[in-house]
Structure 1
Amino acid sequence: MTDMFEDVEYTDPAKAYEDAGHELTIISTERKEIQGKQGEVSVQVDQTIDQVDPDDFDVLFIPGGFSPDILRADDRVVEFAKKMVYQEKPVFAICHGPQILITADVLKGRNITGFKSIQVDLKLAGANVFDEPVVVCGGNLVTSRQPDDLPVFIEESKKLLKQGVTTSV
């Protein structure tokens, strides 16, 4: 996650995951305080992308906003996401979050949704795109379109979580 994440797309799921006993680790390209797009939330980065290994995490959560578009320009972030998908670990992405997965080239044949403006991009990446509040694919990919979809996004992603799981953001 980096600056310009969609505030509520991070805060609501993060609170639900933490309330369920899960630990979140905020990962970014540099260690700093990052700011939400709406200016309502700031979050301290726990570790940089150079300090982490996908093997040390059970789940990847990608909030939307402009953050995913910024991050997908960084090969290290894309490779981290790609490894999480290839290891068949749960990936939760909302709104523009799937942009990182587009760049990672891991969506061919996958069922997915995302914000309206990236749905064509998802199709061009080979995904089967549905304009639904939440789409679960293969038991490890949960996607939603926008903040209005947060309740079902959280519900479906929590179904895949188990106590003691460390979630990277």
Structure 2
Amino acid sequence: MPITRDPHVADNRAAIGSETTSRGRVAILTADQVEDVEFFYPYYRFVEEGYEVDVLTPSGEKITGYKGLALSTGVTPVKDADAQDYDALFIPGGLAPAEVRQDADAIAFVNEFADTGRLIGAVCHGPQVLVTAGLVSGRCMTSWREVADEVRAAGGVYQDEPVVEDGQFITSRKPGDMPLEMRRIFERLNLESAGDRS
């Protein structure tokens, strides 16, 4: 019997999605040197909740976290993505935001997505991408403490809290905050989905 070429065998961190109907589609915007937990935890949680996940990067190639965890399945160049296709955008931290914020296509995508009014989550250094996209002014946000001054300088109101929600933005500081952040993200997605059905 021939061996099937299942991408989940070659790429053993690629999530196997639900066999039920998709609840929607989520984009995770990142790059190499992402904080491994801040990427994989929401990636698996979105899939577990029934969402299809596209990993968008400037290069469209395999990403490797700075602790060495890698993923190549489902990674797409951000320049090929359409913001209208997604129900939510999530931006993890680590060193990846430094690369993402230098990519004009990535910043254009973030702005196009923000214009939809749909949910944007970010953690740790992820809000740096929102700063570069010009989306922080007048907003309450949190981030890793080293990003706090940058949030303030961009006109944001920095709050040192596990989760800060302001309009379409939900931000958190670090990996340990993410269970609270993800719970709130799913609460919001469920509310928005219920609104679509009414």
Please say whether Structure 1 and Structure 2 have the same fold, judged by a TM-score greater than 0.5. yes
Please tell me the residue identity of whatever aligns with 2:137: K
Task: Show CA shifts across 1:103-162 (max 9, x none).
Answer: 000111111000000001001111111000000111x21100011111111111111224
Report which stretch shifted further, 6-15 or 94-103: 6-15
- CA distance in 1 between partners of 2:45 and 2:81 (Å): 24
- CA distance in 2 between partners of 1:143 and 1:79 (Å): 20
Aligned residue in 2 for 1:118: 147
Please tell me the residue identity of whatever aligns with 1:121: E
> How much has 1:31 moved relative to structure 2?
2.5
Q: Select the residue among 94, 115, 118 that pairs with 1:89.
A: 118
- CA distance in 2 between partners of 1:158 and 1:124 (Å): 30
* TM-score normalised according to structure 2 size: 0.78
- Tell me the SS of whatever aligns to 2:93: coil
- Tell me the SS of whatever aligns to 1:26: strand
- Provide structure 2 residue ranges, at least 5 long, that are not aligned to the other structure: 1-29, 194-198
- CA distance in 2 between partners of 1:34 and 1:12 (Å): 15
Contact 2:107 2:133 in 1 (8 A): yes
Aligned residue in 2 for 1:154: 182
Report which stretch shifted further, 109-118 or 14-23: 14-23
> How much has 1:46 moved relative to structure 2?
2.6
> How much has 1:37 moved relative to structure 2?
1.1
- Provide structure 1 residue ranges, at least 5 long, that are not aligned to the other structure: none
- Tell me the SS of whatever aligns to 1:131: coil
- CA distance in 2 between partners of 1:22 and 1:32 (Å): 22
Please tell me the residue identity of whatever aligns with 1:159: E
Contact 2:60 2:78 in 1 (8 A): no
Aligned residue in 2 for 1:30: 59
**Aligned alpha-carbon RMSD (Å):** 1.5
Question: How many residues matched?
Answer: 162
Please tell me the residue identity of whatever aligns with 1:7: D
Between the aligned residues of both structures, percent identity stands at 31
Aligned residue in 2 for 1:105: 134
> How much has 1:62 moved relative to structure 2?
0.4
* TM-score normalised according to structure 1 size: 0.91
- Structure-to-structure mapping, 1:30-49, within 5 angstroms: 30-39=59-68, 41-44=69-72, 45-49=74-78
Q: Select the residue among 60, 63, 74 that pairs with 2:92.
A: 63
- CA distance in 2 between partners of 1:130 and 1:123 (Å): 10
Q: Select the residue among 135, 143, 146 that pairs with 2:171.
A: 143
Aligned residue in 1 for 2:16: none
Of structures 1 and 2, the one scoring higher in RCO (CA 8 A, sep 6+) is 1
- CA distance in 2 between partners of 1:162 and 1:151 (Å): 16
